[in-house]
Amino acid sequence: MTTQKPKIALIGYGKMGKEIEHLAIEKGFILTDIFDIDKPLVLGKNYDFDVAIEFTTPTAVFENIKTIAKMKKNIVVGTTGWYDRLEEVKRIVEQEQIGLIYSPNFSVGIQILLKTVEQISKFINSINNYDILIEEIHHRHKKDAPSGTALLIAKKILENIKSKERITTNPLDVDENSLQIASLRFGEVFGVHKILFDSEFDTIEITHTAKNRKGFALGALLAAVWIHNQKGFFEFSV
Ligand SMILES: NC(=O)c1ccc[n+]([C@@H]2O[C@H](COP(=O)([O-])OP(=O)(O)OC[C@H]3O[C@@H](n4cnc5c(N)ncnc54)[C@H](O)[C@@H]3O)[C@@H](O)[C@H]2O)c1
């Protein structure tokens, strides 16, 4: 690992792309290229960046990863909704010998919440009298549901609580072995993730509320520095 700032390119110049651009300039990164639908990456063309930061859409991300890998460049993937192709992407990363780091949520606060949920889940597993609900709220332009972060929180719970065996998004399909994720799409909400642990005696609630997109942008830039000159497939964690 190196702490040297890589030259970066942005793939996707939407809400997150613009946020990362502002912060990257503020923090003294060199931003060599910005790609979007009307200015796509061209395989075979010589680009000067070291690490690409990808925040596009669930349908575009896979092809972008493939192109970057063929260019032998490293990549930070912030786009969500592609995790059914994780194994395929892992193989591409190995085959092309590049570095890739991804996360459904680059905010450091969410990483702290994940560690907290893991600890609480371990306690609950030994007591086993709490039901659990994950609720997530995002702006109405979001293209995937449940959110990648909600799925990551669910994974932590399923790994640590034996009685919870499956995820359901259907309120009419809940039983003591299911873990329900409820998704709401509303206004311009940056992202709220709430976990409720409910027993006969009390309810424990943990909520993470993103106040803006700056926290995601900062984490993505930290990840770009971390993945610079590295090889391999990594999930972001603090
Ligand atoms: N990991 C995180 O911390 C985090 C945080 C926020 C959002 N996200 C995710 O990041 C993604 C982008 O979010 P956003 O709010 O910026 O969305 P957005 O809709 O504002 O921007 C997406 C951009 O991608 C562009 N795009 C679409 N197809 C493309 C292609 N083939 N090549 C290049 N660009 C293309 C669009 O034109 C648009 O400018 C979503 O999947 C979202 O869920 C992740």
What is the distance in A from the centroid of ligand 1 to the CA of 57? Answer: 5
CB 197 within 8 Å of CB 130: yes
By residue count, the chain amounts to: 238
Cβ neighbours, 10 Å, residue 187: 8
3-state secondary structure of 213: coil
The answer, yes or no, to whether any atom of ligand 1 lies below 6 A from the CB of 163, is: no
Identify whether 142 is a catalytic site residue: yes
What is the distance in A from the centroid of ligand 1 to the CA of 122? Answer: 35
Dist. CA 156–CA 135, nearest whole Å: 15
The answer, yes or no, to whether any atom of ligand 1 lies below 6 A from the CB of 222, is: no
Mean pLDDT by 10 residues, the chain (238 residues): 86 98 98 98 96 97 98 97 96 98 95 96 90 97 95 97 97 96 97 97 96 96 97 93
**Residue nearest (by alpha carbon) to ligand 1 atom 19:** 14
Identify whether 7 is a catalytic site residue: no
Report which ligand 1 atom has the smallest distance to the Cα of 148: 43
Architecture of domain 8-106+214-235: 3-Layer(aba) Sandwich (3.40)
Assess whether the region 8-106+214-235 and the region 108-209 belong to the same CATH fold. Answer: no
What pLDDT does 129 receive? 85
What is the distance in A from the centroid of ligand 1 to the CA of 204? Answer: 33
The answer, yes or no, to whether any atom of ligand 1 lies below 6 A from the CB of 56, is: yes
Alpha-carbon distance values, 24 to 30, 60, 192, 203 (Å): 8, 23, 25, 41
Task: Indicate the CATH number for domain 108-209.
Answer: 3.30.360.10
Read off the DSSP letter of residue 27.
T
What pLDDT does 155 receive? 96
What is the distance in A from the centroid of ligand 1 to the CA of 176? Answer: 36
CB 100 within 8 Å of CB 77: yes
**Residue nearest (by alpha carbon) to ligand 1 atom 38:** 14
Give the domain ranges of the chain. Answer: 8-106+214-235, 108-209
H-type alpha helices, 71-147: 86-96, 108-127
